[in-house]
Chain A
Amino acid sequence: MNTTIQLSGAHALIHSIIHEGTDTIFGYPGGNIIPVFDALYDYYNQIHYVLGRHEQGSIHAAQGYARISGKVGVCIVTSGPAATNVITGIGDAMLDSTPLVVITGQVGDTMLGTDAFQEIDMVGITQPITKWCYQIRRPEEIAWAVARAFYIARTGRKGPVVLDFTKNAQNALVTDYRPEKCTFIRSYVPVSKPNMAKIEEAAQLINQAKKPLALVGQGVLLGNAEVELTQFLEKADIPAGWTLLGESALPSDFRLNKGMLGMHGNIAPNLKTNECDVLIAIGMRFDDRVTGDMNTYAKQAKIIHFDIDVAEIGKNIPVDVPVLGDVKTTLPLITQLLKKTSHQEWVNSFAVAERKEKELVIEKEIHPKEGAIKMGEVIAKIADATHNQAVVVTDVGQNQMMAARYSKFAQSNSFITSGGLGTMGFGIPAAIGAKIGAPERTVVLFVGDGGFQMTIQELGTIMQEKVGVKMVILNNNFLGMVRQWQELFYHKRYSSTPMQNPDFVAIAKAYGINAAVVGEREKLDNAIEAMLSDDKAYLLVVNVEDNGLVYPMTPAGTCVTNIIVNGEKIVL
């Protein structure tokens, strides 16, 4: 592809995308992108094209694919309603730093601004929720714009890029097309050079610390710095909690892994946040779901913040020592300055809260003796049945928090969820994308009865593409997380949360997907075994208790130590 050739803009686009190493594209065709889909027909042996059932499904699938594979997810849709249908996924990818290139069709340049059929101002709409967006109006811009889009999406703090592609530019011939490679943009510094003075300052703080605590975020996964992280933690004997998106960066059985942070996280790391003397944030952004009330958050601690994005430093929590850069580079630099230490007493002190949580919450959730099946029980059983090796995908709500709490991971980068945007309906399509991105792995989706129906149409994609995802509906016939808030904070006024559900098994079967329903504890193990017995798609509907609650819980906006279990504040 190094020689100059004459192509249509649509062909040039596909050429450029392939040149970036893309072999899988998600999307949905339509009027203002037909030339691109026509060109795609010529590349069927180089591109696996996954036709979704709704553009939102396609973009979430691209996100799931990007998250599991580390590659840039590519989604191509038409203009107008298709473009607005991918907005949720773009916003989701922006908040969760997922590398995406989204190509939307657009009306021809002479029609721009006239309210033409299926015209929408995509660049105007997506400016606040993309890392970069650009309207390609001439075919000569394609090579440059595509190269730039992929470079921006996958470097620095990763994120979504939109290319809005006018129809005239798709049809026009480009006479001297040559794919480009972008490695530099003068106005864009993806990664700062490590500042050794700051690293030394941070090392000194950690060397003097008696009670250090690390907070692990998705930056570790995005930077492939899992090994560097464990070396750092081991050397200075630092216990670590992780954010929702940082889950699986540390193996579940790692000695210093102290569990999940935040609203429904584990008691110990949340309490210890306000006890530690040095707090070391690594590739995380102090989201309010992690911090609770920011005015009472870790006030006693010196705070060190490792991040790739300078705009995150001091955004929510004042930072004493910022360490800018890629954690894969900065963590080893600081590790070599650390004294080999032991904080045995401090590390062991987490056990008090851990025992309490096990007794008050975990045992009851995963080993109940009687009553209806519990959500946590299902998740723990599936973790066991998959030997902690599965990729776990979730939807949003109780299913997500339960999956985050009770899944176990032996492998890194194995937990895919919509964190920042909290997008219900993310689950099915993201699981499709994850399975396509990692076909050799078992992909298990946990989804509620509500979220399942938000993107239920993607069962069609599973059928057509034969995607072997294992879907588990935790069915409580409620919008469970909202129901939980109503029970706890809104006087049990269950406004718009009870759901009358369809026969999910019949629906799955109509799509040719094997399915079963289980509602009795003694049949659960067999039902799980049946689901995992082959590599085909499968839907297991588990009828769980209808009034399950995710505990512990720190009510929104309150102090990180204000942890409620079974309606009462935890006091150790």
Chain B
Amino acid sequence: MIELTKDKKLYTVTVFSENTPGLLNQITIIFTRRQLNIETLSVSPSALKGIHKFTITVVTTHDMIEKVVKQIDKRIDVLKAYYNVDEELIFQEIALYKLSTEKVLEMGSIESLIRRYDARVLEMNSTCIVIEKTGLYEETQNLFDELSQTIGVLQFIRSGRVAITKGKVERLSDMLASLENAQ
């Protein structure tokens, strides 16, 4: 689990940008320069055509995240960058677990495990079973820990965080309209 201290919190940085090449690099080097390790990163097209959304989590101080977000926002092709703490967000991660079919059969049943973790089975064949679990970091980690201690996990992958703010709808389109009006 991510180490937090009194001064340092987990911040989720959201960046909307034009879909121009090299932008991911431009953003990540800003973290590197300030000696910050990115915990998770997820990049995808946003709801608006041609605009990409980056969701980045990082552990740092409030003072530092303010500065870093300003530096990101300053990049020419970045439309908007902002940060939130967990209390302001709804967020999820997704994890996939590959298990040995043979080991699962030895165990007998995994029904209760699937139910307890609200996981689901994606694939089942003679060699492996793939389980998917969405949830918070702790939840996907707990399932990993339990599986590791019982059946054993052949492969494990967890996505970066995806997040939306609780407060209000994402008003990027409004912001774009106001930017266009400023012309």
Contacts and interface: CB of A to CB of B under 8 A. Distances in A.
Interface stretch (B39-47, B73-81, B103-111): B73-81
B79 A186 contact: yes
A188 interface: yes
A258 B67 CA distance: 32
12 contacts: A124-B25, A128-B33, A185-B76, A186-B79, A186-B180, A187-B17, A187-B76, A188-B77, A189-B179, A311-B67, A313-B70, A314-B67
* Interface size, B (range): 20 to 34
Given A123-B22, A127-B25, A184 B183 contact: yes
B71 interface: yes
Interface in B120-170: none
A309 interface: yes
A561 B73 CA distance: 36
A314 B79 CA distance: 22
Max chain A Cβ within 10 angstroms of own Cβ: one of B29, B78, B79, B179: B179
Interface of A: 123-124, 127-128, 131-133, 135, 152, 183-189, 309-311, 313-315
Contacts of A311: 67, 70-71, 73-74
Main secondary structure of the interface of A (DSSP, over half): mixed
Contacts of B74: 309-311
Contacts of A184: 183
Contacts of B33: 128
A135 B20 CA distance: 11
Contact of B22 (A124, A131, A189): A124
B25 A132 contact: no
Nearest to A193: B182
Contacts of B180: 186
Nearest to A318: B63
A195 to B, nearest CB: 15
A315 B71 CA distance: 10
B76 A131 contact: yes
Nearest to B79: A187
Contacts of A135: 21
Contact of B29 (A128, A152, A183, A185): A128
Contacts of B77: 132, 187-188
B26 interface: yes
A462 to B, nearest CB: 36
Interface in B27-53: 29, 33
Contacts of B26: 127-128
A128 B22 CA distance: 11
Contact of A187 (B66, B71, B78, B183): B78
A309 B74 CA distance: 8
B22 A127 contact: yes
Contacts of B67: 311, 314-315
Given A128-B33, A187-B179, A311-B70, 10 more contacts: A127-B29, A131-B76, A132-B76, A135-B21, A185-B76, A186-B180, A187-B17, A310-B74, A311-B67, A315-B67
B22 A186 contact: no
B93 interface: no
Contacts of B179: 186-187, 189
Nearest to B66: A314
A189 B182 contact: yes
A476 to B, nearest CB: 36
A332 B73 CA distance: 28
A72 B29 CA distance: 27
B83 to A, nearest CB: 14
A183 B182 CA distance: 11
A310 B18 contact: no
Contacts of A131: 76
B176 interface: yes
Contacts of B176: 186
A141 B22 CA distance: 17
A91 B5 CA distance: 36
B2 to A, nearest CB: 26
Interface string B2-21: 00000000000000011001
Contacts of A315: 67, 70
Nearest to B20: A134
A386 B94 CA distance: 72
A183 B183 CA distance: 8
Contacts of A183: 183
A91 B130 CA distance: 50
Contacts of A310: 70, 73-74
A271 to B, nearest CB: 28
A343 to B, nearest CB: 33
A372 to B, nearest CB: 44
Contacts of A309: 74
A309 B179 CA distance: 18
A442 B114 CA distance: 82
A106 to B, nearest CB: 14
Contacts of A152: 76
B16 to A, nearest CB: 9
Contacts of A186: 79, 176, 179-180
A228 to B, nearest CB: 24
Interface in B59-97: 66-67, 70-71, 73-74, 76-79
